[in-house]
Amino acid sequence: MNDADRSRFADAVEESFLIGSRQQFFVWSQSSVQALIPHEILICGIEDGSRQGMALHRFSASRYFRQAHFDAVADPTAGLMSRLLAVAEGSRSRVVLCPSSSSAKPADQDLLRLVGDNELKNLAAHLVVGVRGRAEAFYGFSRLSVELDARLGHLLELLVPHVHNAFLRVLSAERDVAGVAHQRVGRLVTPRQEEILNLIKSGKTNSEIAELLSCSPWTIKNHIQAILRKLDSNSRTHAIARAMSLGILQPD
């Protein structure tokens, strides 16, 4: 790297520690990362523990890369990312460079075809390997406006670990937010009110619910009024629909 690259790299690394949301990650990738690796599309693949391979996330500023292209890329059996992963795992280098030039001779000609078919011109990707030697993430930068050469490969080796750590923080923050939201939904109604909702859902009247729960119809009526307030509903039917949409009740 030259002095300018080293300065940009230091700035990108420093700013990466401030990232806590998907929007911040996208802005960072389009500014500090862009200054080092000019690209239009970034695809992040993260191992999610399933048999479907990696979960893919895209950050695109390209009008050419559409949903159909992303779906083709994400295909776990024949998609571009699975092919890139196989090529990277089968080589000594964790970096895969796929220039769009027809004169280029990548290790896998099918890979070059997939890059062109899915509007991913000039793609450079980097495999992240975990402590046990297994692939745990993949980052592909596409529609690059720089030469796909040794300099770019070196930049990927240096920068992608920081990209990976920043994106892991984004995913962790999203899981935390989802967990808090789930807890809040769970606290919307008490266990007794959830029990009453299930009985209403099964078609029971207030009197039948009171008999089943060994309490007075007035108590059940008070519970139902509280449920309607908490779920911002104007009827028993509306309350059931709201409870199902919030995950309080499960469909039959």
CATH code of the domain covering residue 142: 3.30.450.80
Please count the residues of the chain: 252
Residue 122 and residue 9 share a domain? yes
DSSP conformation class of 53: -
Residue 165 and residue 196 share a domain? no
Q: Which domain holds residue 231?
A: 186-245
Q: Tell me, what's the pLDDT at 104? A: 44
Residue 219 and residue 104 share a domain? no
In a domain, 178, yes or no: no
Residue 123 and residue 191 share a domain? no
Residue 163 and residue 235 share a domain? no
Q: Tell me, what's the pLDDT at 106? A: 47
Residue 98 and residue 47 share a domain? yes
Count of domains forming the chain: 2
Whole-structure pTM value: 0.65
What is the DSSP annotation of 103-146? T---S-HHHHHHHHHTT--SEEEEEEE-TTS-EEEEEEEES--S
Q: How far apart are CA 106 and CA 108, in angstroms?
A: 5
For residue 225, give the CATH number of its domain.
Answer: 1.10.10.10
Residue 112 and residue 19 share a domain? yes
Residue 66 and residue 13 share a domain? yes
Q: Tell me, what's the pLDDT at 82? A: 73
Q: Tell me, what's the pLDDT at 167? A: 92
DSSP conformation class of 184: H
- Regions in the chain scoring below 50 on pLDDT: 51, 102-106
In a domain, 214, yes or no: yes
The per-residue pLDDT for range 34-67, each reduced to its tens digit, is 999 999 999 998 876 654 567 888 888 788 888 8
Q: Tell me, what's the pLDDT at 102? A: 46
